[in-house]
């Protein structure tokens, strides 16, 4: 019989899985999230996140140059709790927990060819449309009008995955023309992102 893996005090073990699954683990907050710990003589941070629907989870930030492959988390069964220990993490490191939430909510799914999120990548206008469209559907908001944007000269450059989202954005004037073009593959700069978000908030009065 294989020897049971020894669990360190800060790690999530079988008992944690059992109690959490039963809904009566009243101190799970002590292990989920990020906690500074010491593994032997090595100081670092222990990360744990419940993400049962995620295919993969990584801890990413400035400390590892936003590299999704640098600190991949290990999935623990049966509940789908991902964990990892990272040594020597700077005190002021910024972690992308928002990416985990967005993935769980279905707002961000990662690139279909690699499964990576590309948090440091530039975002295109159609990608932003898709994320906002998914968020509206997630929240159950009224979708309003969808437009036929075929009159735009570059309508054919809208990707298939973004087609309905662009119809929604154009129909509700969240995204308007860019010098007479949709420019779906063009990068949305900070000013454009702010404008798009502002129109969204005004539309839903949030």
* pLDDT score recorded for residue 165: 94
Whole-angstrom distance, CA of residue 169 vs CA of residue 203: 11
Tokens of 65: 């140059």
Q: What is the pLDDT of residues 18-64, one digit of tens each?
A: 888 888 888 888 888 888 888 888 888 888 888 888 888 888 877 77
* pLDDT score recorded for residue 156: 93
Q: What is the pLDDT of residues 125-151, one digit of tens each?
A: 999 899 889 888 888 888 888 999 999
Contact 67, 60 (CB under 8 A): yes
Tokens of 74: 């290990």
**Confidence bin at 114 (pLDDT 50/70/90):** low
- The kind and range of the H/E element at 152 are none
Q: List the beta bridge partners of residue 74.
A: 83
* Residue in this structure with the two tokens 């928002």, named with its chain if needed: 98
Whole-angstrom distance, CA of residue 22 vs CA of residue 20: 5
**Confidence bin at 105 (pLDDT 50/70/90):** low
Contact 68, 61 (CB under 8 A): no
* pLDDT score recorded for residue 144: 87
In the predicted structure, residue 163 carries a pLDDT above the cut 90: yes
In the predicted structure, residue 188 carries a pLDDT above the cut 90: no
If you average pLDDT over every residue of the chain, what do you get? Answer: 82
Rounded to the nearest angstrom, the gap between the alpha carbon of residue 26 and the centroid of all alpha carbons in its chain is: 27
Whole-angstrom distance, CA of residue 10 vs CA of residue 164: 46
Q: What is the pLDDT of residues 81-103, one digit of tens each?
A: 899 998 877 655 655 555 666 66
**What pTM was estimated for this model as a whole?**
0.54
């Amino acid at each position: 019989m294989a020897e049971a893996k020894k669990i360190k005090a800060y790690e999530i073990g079988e008992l944690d899985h059992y109690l959490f699954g039963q809904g009566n683990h009243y101190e799970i907050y002590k292990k989920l999230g990020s906690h500074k710990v010491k593994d032997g003589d090595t100081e670092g941070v222990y990360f744990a996140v419940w993400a049962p629907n995620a295919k993969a989870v990584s801890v990413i930030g400035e400390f590892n140059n936003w590299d999704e492959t640098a600190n991949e988390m290990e999935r623990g069964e049966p509940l789908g709790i991902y964990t990892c220990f990272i040594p020597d993490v700077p005190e002021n490191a910024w972690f992308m927990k928002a990416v985990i939430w967005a993935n769980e909510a279905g707002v961000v799914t990662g690139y279909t060819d690699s499964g990576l999120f590309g948090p440091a990548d530039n975002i295109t206008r159609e990608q932003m449309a898709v994320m906002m469209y998914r968020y509206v559907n997630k929240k159950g908001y009224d979708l309003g009008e969808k437009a036929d944007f075929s009159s735009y000269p570059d309508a054919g450059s809208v990707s298939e995955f973004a087609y309905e989202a662009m119809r929604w954005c154009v129909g509700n004037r969240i995204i308007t023309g860019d010098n007479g073009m949709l420019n779906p593959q063009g990068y949305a700069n900070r000013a454009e992102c702010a404008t798009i978000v502002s129109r969204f908030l005004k539309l839903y009065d949030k």
